[in-house]
Amino acid sequence: MQFLNDVWVNWFEGEENGYNVSSFHEWRKDDFIEVIDQMPVIKLETKALLYIENELLDLPEKLLEEVYKKAYVRNNAKRIQIEYCFIATDGEIVIAVNTLGYKIPIRKSRLIPRQEKAVIELAKNMKTKRYPLTYHEQKEYHILSPSPASMVGLTRKERQLKQLLFMALDHLKSTGNVAEVRYWLTEWKPAQYIQYQLMDFDEAWTYLYQEIEKGWTKKHYALCEKLIKGHSFFEKLWELEEGTQVN
């Protein structure tokens, strides 16, 4: 088994979509960067690698057995074993995982460029491991777990704000208030005001969702800022995101 030493990781916890596990260039000054003394490297088929990257489902028992306590973190002069912590690659994509002792990839991280390159070099001389996995024919996405197509081309901050906008829109759906959703449609695209008055709640909400689903613009930003007003939880998330700094 191959190993990588002194691995810099920036854990993203509980993320089922790989687009939320940010690459090094999107790491922030207030992120907690951990250095793992040693991590095993495994080479997988691309399908298996994407399963780990984009799911929060059980990992194969055989994989867990192979990496069991082969990772170490250093605490002063003492090396402490980590139960299930490893780097997975298909020779192109690289992702680090820590299950926190469970069977699912709870923590995920990208690597710094130099170490990512080192893993890809190691993979050239490694055999691809094949494990039995139950794959989804097609992963189901929804408003609180948006499809990658909804996030393509967006920065980390834009992705976070867009997910906040989706959360606010999901809350709007729970109210069933047709007048309110027509109001927000008018905020989004005022020229079609008359058309909105003829829509029932489901039609109006679906139309608004479809309008904002793709991309991220100044209009998205403005709608999000207005839509969260008066909702303390959403406002707190907005403040946290607006106050972040990239390295």
CA distance 16 to 21: 9
Specify the pLDDT at position 51.
93
DSSP 26: G
Q: Quote the tokens at residue 220.
A: 């998205």
Q: Quote the tokens at residue 23.
A: 């690459």
Specify the pLDDT at position 134.
75
Per the CB < 8 A criterion, the answer to whether 12 and 21 are in contact is yes
Specify the pLDDT at position 247.
55
Per the CB < 8 A criterion, the answer to whether 54 and 151 are in contact is no
Specify the pLDDT at position 139.
81
Per the CB < 8 A criterion, the answer to whether 111 and 119 are in contact is yes
Tell me the whole-structure pTM to 2 decimals: 0.89
**Enclosing H/E stretch for 74:** strand 68-75
Specify the pLDDT at position 136.
65
Other CB atoms within 10 Å distance of the CB of residue 93? 18
CA distance 134 to 27: 32
CA distance 206 to 29: 38
Residue whose token pair is 């208030």? 177
Query: What residues contact residue 83 under an 8 Å CB cut-off, 6+ apart?
Result: 68, 69, 99, 101
Could you read off the pLDDT tens digit of each residue along the chain, which spans 247 residues? 999 999 999 999 999 999 999 999 999 999 999 999 999 999 999 999 999 999 999 999 999 999 999 999 998 889 999 999 999 999 999 999 999 999 999 999 999 999 999 999 999 999 999 998 876 667 888 999 999 999 999 999 999 999 999 999 999 999 999 999 999 999 999 999 999 999 999 999 999 999 999 999 999 999 999 999 999 999 999 999 987 655 5
